Amino acid sequence: MAGLTACDSSTSTPRTPVASSGATPFAGDSRATDPDAAAQRIAQTPNMPDSLHLISPGQAGRLRVRMSEKLLLARVPADQLRKLTRTVGDSTYPAYELRDAQEPTAPPTLLEMAGTPQRGFYLRRIIITDPQYRTGEGVGVGSPFGAARQLFGFSRVRTTPDGFAAISRQTRMAWLLDENSLPADHSNDMPSAEIPTATRIKGVVVY
C-alpha cells in the first residue's frame, strides 16, 4: 500500500449517521460548491445503504479486508464470482470480480487477493465502482469530493497506481477522483483544498 499510505488524512472524527429520509444525496449532484453545505446536506438526507452495501473501515458489506480466500468463497455464491488476475504497477495479483445478485447490471466489485499457494490467499483490497455502496454518512461513488473531504479530512491528493486518489488512513479507504473536472496539466500531488468541491468520486478502494 505504499502508493496509498503516502497520502495521509487528518484525524477529524466522522459525523454520526442519522436516520434515512429516503433521498439520494450527491449522486451525480454537481451543484454542491461549498463543503460545509455538502456536509449539512448529508446530515439532513443521508442515503443509508443496506448491510450488503455498507462501506466501513476495512470492510464492504459482508467482506472484510484480510479475510481468507476460503472464508470469502464460503460467504459468496460461486455464480457471483469470476476469477482473474490484476496488474497494479509492477505487481500482479490474483483477484475476483464480484457481481451484485440484486443488480446484475451494476459495475462489478474487484476483490484483490494476496498471499501464496503454500500459505493460502487473503483479501488484500476491495475496489468499488458500484454507486450502491455507501458509507454510513451516505458518501460513495457519484458523491462530490467536498462531501468526503468535509467528513473525513484529507491533506493531499496524489496520483497512485489506482488513479488520482485522496487517502483516509482513519477510514482505511482511498477515494478515487474523476480528473475530467481538473485542468489537464494539474499536478500529480495537490493539496486537498485545491480540488474543486464538486469533483466526482468515481471509485473507492477499501484496504
pLDDT tens figures, 29-41: 333 334 454 445 4
The last residue of one of the domains, among 126, 143, 161, is 126
Domain boundary among 90, 107, 126: 126
Picking from 84, 66, 87, 56, the residue whose alpha carbon sits closest to that of residue 171 is 56
pLDDT in tens, 68-118: 999 999 999 999 999 999 988 788 999 999 999 989 899 999 999 999 999
**Measured CA angle at 81 (ends 79, 86), to 5 deg:** 160
Q: 82 with 137, same domain?
A: no
* Coil, strand or helix at 136: coil
Residue ranges making up the domain that contains 150: 2-11+25-50+130-206
Does pTM surpass 0.85? no
Report helix, strand or coil for 94: strand
Of the candidates 123, 146, 122, 148, the residue with the CA atom closest to the CA atom of residue 204: 148
Residues 6+ apart with CB under 8 A from 197: 32, 33, 34, 35, 38, 144, 145, 146, 149
